[in-house]
């Protein structure tokens, strides 16, 4: 994987740009770990800081809005570390990007009490070592074949 210091994701929502802009200000209410930093009027983007509970890494997320017509808006998420560190194989950053997308959708629905970015969901995607391998059906098939059981 090439070295890069950001992750990006684009998606479309069925709301106008004005409504999306208004709803993004409610995004910090979805989680206590999200803090609004600033709005850049030149690039029409918002900058948020995301501070996970169990990590010393802080993420900076820029959200840009591009109006397509009166009913659709393109939302662009741009995630990076606050210190500019290179993202190599950090699955936690990808998880934060996906959870932040869900938080944007929740804010656009007006569901700010959803607790989309809760700490339990952040750690759900992390590798837990060999204990996780043994708990999967494939792991038990590979490592603990029982007699009298058909192999798949």
CATH number of domain containing 63: 3.30.530.50
Please report the pLDDT score of residue 86 as a whole number: 66
105 in any annotated domain: yes
1 in any annotated domain: no
This prediction's pTM: 0.69
**Beta strands 7-13; 45-50: pairing state:** unpaired
30 in any annotated domain: yes
152 in any annotated domain: no
25 in any annotated domain: yes
Instruction: Please spell the DSSP secondary structure of 35-63, one letter per residue.
Output: EEEEEETTTTEEEEEE--SS-S--EEEEE
97 by DSSP, 3-state: which? helix
Query: Residues 4, 84, 127, 29: is their CA dihedral positive or negative?
Result: negative
Task: State which residues of the chain have pLDDT below 70.
Answer: 1-3, 84-90, 112-152
Residues 6+ apart with CB under 8 A from 100: 48, 50, 61, 77, 79, 117
125 in any annotated domain: yes
Domain limits for position 139: 7-143
Number of domain units in the chain:
1
149 in any annotated domain: no
Please report the pLDDT score of residue 123 as a whole number: 46
142/120 Cα distance (integer angstroms) = 29
**Do the beta carbons of residue 34 and residue 116 sit within 8 Å?**
no
For 101-111, the pLDDT digits (tens) are 888 888 888 77
């Amino acid at each position: 994987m090439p070295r890069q210091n950001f992750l990006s994701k684009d998606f479309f929502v069925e709301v106008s740009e004005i409504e999306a802009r208004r709803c993004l200000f409610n995004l910090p209410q979805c989680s206590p770990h999200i803090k609004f930093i600033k709005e850049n009027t030149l690039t029409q983007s918002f900058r948020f800081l995301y501070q996970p509970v169990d990590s010393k890494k802080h993420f900076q997320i820029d959200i840009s809005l591009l109006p397509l017509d009166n009913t659709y808006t393109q939302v662009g998420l741009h995630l990076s570390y606050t210190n500019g560190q290179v993202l190599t194989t950090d699955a936690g950053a990808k998880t934060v990007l996906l959870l932040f997308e869900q938080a944007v959708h929740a804010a656009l629905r007006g569901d700010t009490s959803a607790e989309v970015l809760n700490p339990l969901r952040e750690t759900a995607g992390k590798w837990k070592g060999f204990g996780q391998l043994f708990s999967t059906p494939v792991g038990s098939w590979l490592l603990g074949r029982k007699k009298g059981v058909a192999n798949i």
